[in-house]
Structure 1
Amino acid sequence: MNPTTEPIEPESHPGEPHDPGIAGRLNWLRAGVLGANDGIVSTAGIVVGVTGATTDTTSIAIAGIAGLVAGAMSMAAGEYVSVSTQRDSERALLAKEARELREDPDAEFAELVAMLEQRGISPDVAREAARDLTRHDALAAHAEIELGLDPDGLTNPWHAAWASMVAFTLGALLPLLVMTLTPPDVRLVATVTSVMLALAATGWVSARLGQSPPLRALVRNVLGGLAAMGVTYLIGMIVGTRI
């Protein structure tokens, strides 16, 4: 067979994700890690701050539980509103594209050819590819290439809300349980230590998911948590001495 006509097999890279849905799953996982991180830091700040003002376990537990519930509900509501707004915008764009395909299919076909050519495809191949894509699903082709959307894969706001709430709650439980279940003389050290370890873990995971250097993210995450706990503890001490 002539070497110039022999089909070339795509090079295989075992470490590369080829599943078309993996990007979406990675985004969900990254959002879950960040939600857990928020739960850890915010609840740790609350319980450590209250500890600076009082050693009463009941008061610390009430403040921590209130912070956990309020934070989880806030995360869920915020994520629901945000994703719903995004979904409404995506649906409006898809409806506009569908209307343009009905009203002026020739112009939309020419637009699709031009977009394929902009990606480096030769004019003849781009025209043939545009024909095939239009025959298969014109709206899906325009949505993906022009808008970067998958009409069948729009984000569900309820899924986003539940995921954020669960992730925040799981993260918040760590400092709350450590602070309320350990003896008073070691609870502060135990909480700060456990929070540092948890933040190191979430920082490392988020960096790995984003394919960035893990050490920098880990240190940044831990220092941010320490700063939050330090500030709230000082505020608790100041307020506790004046009430």
Structure 2
Amino acid sequence: MSIDTGSLDTPVGPHGDEPHDDSISSRLNWLRAGVLGGNDGIVSTAGLVMGVAGATSDRTTILIAGIAGVAAGALSMAAGEYVSVSTQRDSERAILAKERAELRDEPEEELAELAGLYVQKGLSEPLALQVAEALTAHDALAAHAETELGIDPDDLTNPWHAAWASMLAFMLGALLPLLTITLTPPTIRVGATVAAVGVALALTGWVSARLGYGAVRRAVARNVGGGVLAMAVTYWIGALIGTQIG
């Protein structure tokens, strides 16, 4: 079977950036379950306790509502992350099973396909075929999974790791607004909570931007702006409902 060579004259590009690309992918996965989970904990809990604080000044009521919100939010985050990553893992397994079957039933076609992928990366056709044959002899599934599918068969996504990371990050993030609004005097609790949450969101926005190689100012502004808006809306709703009930 002939190989679709594409552009054989394309020069081979530098490959020194490959570990860097893998590093970015790993960092983004960690950020998704870590920093973003912490952000959710900060914003959702801050919005909840600010809403209750807008309706009542009773510290116990605010604390009970906050604790309930933290527990519900953390469990929801864990469950959602587990389901999401489990679905991804099931898809990866199904794709790998399909690839195994193709390697078993159509080995020559799969070899040509793998060589064609290396040609697209810039290798000459003879060299691409030589590399494909060597990698196929070593571990055909791993070669196809990495090059064709972008999957490491020995390192599939773990739903339990993602669930625990997301839940713990949510709880840690939620502690800041909960402790701030319940431990500060009533006269300054709202302002202190807004200030503490704003600083925390600025910090997490900065960290996520730095680790993810994104724009720092944009990430910080997005985090802080969204959090402040959420607190303002929930506080206004709480004050409105509290006034009507009172």
TM-score (normalised: structure 2) = 0.90
Alpha-carbon distance in 1 for matches of 2:24, 2:143: 19
Q: Give the aligned partner of residue 182 of structure 1.
A: 184
Q: Percent of counterpart pairs with the same letter?
A: 63
Q: Give the aligned partner of residue 211 of structure 1.
A: 213
Change (3 A) 1:17 1:198: farther
> Secondary structure of 2:19's match?
coil
2:149 to 144, 147, 150: 147
Superposed counterparts of 1:77-156, under 5 Å: 77-156=79-158
Alpha-carbon distance in 2 for matches of 1:17, 1:199: 32
What is the identity, as a one-letter code, of the residue corresponding to 1:84?
S
Tell me how large the CA RMSD over aligned residues is.
1.7
Change (3 A) 1:47 1:211: same
Alpha-carbon distance in 2 for matches of 1:153, 1:127: 27
> Secondary structure of 2:153's match?
coil
Change (3 A) 1:23 1:213: closer
Alpha-carbon distance in 2 for matches of 1:184, 1:206: 33
| 2:181–2:192 CA contact under 8 A, matched in 1 | yes
Alpha-carbon distance in 1 for matches of 2:23, 2:169: 20
Q: Give the aligned partner of residue 72 of structure 1.
A: 74
Deviations 1:86-111 (A, max 9, x none): 00000000001001111111111111
Q: Give the aligned partner of residue 18 of structure 1.
A: 19
| 2:28–2:212 CA contact under 8 A, matched in 1 | no
Deviations 1:134-170 (A, max 9, x none): 0110000000111110001101101110010000000
1:162 to 147, 161, 164: 164
Deviations 1:1-22 (A, max 9, x none): xxxxxxxxx898xxx7937863
Structure 2 residue runs without a partner (length 5+): 1-13
Deviations 1:169-228 (A, max 9, x none): 000010001111111111111111000000000111111122122011111211111100
> Secondary structure of 2:170's match?
helix
Q: Give the aligned partner of residue 5 of structure 1.
A: none
> Secondary structure of 1:18's match?
helix
Alpha-carbon distance in 2 for matches of 1:226, 1:153: 39
1:236 and 2:243 equivalent?
no
Alpha-carbon distance in 2 for matches of 1:45, 1:220: 16
Superposed counterparts of 1:34-53, under 5 Å: 34-53=36-55
Alpha-carbon distance in 2 for matches of 1:213, 1:103: 48
The alpha-carbon deviation at position 130 of structure 1 amounts to 0.4
> Secondary structure of 1:207's match?
helix
Structure 1 residue runs without a partner (length 5+): 1-9
Deviations 1:2-47 (A, max 9, x none): xxxxxxxx898xxx79378634541243120011001000000000
TM-score (normalised: structure 1) = 0.91
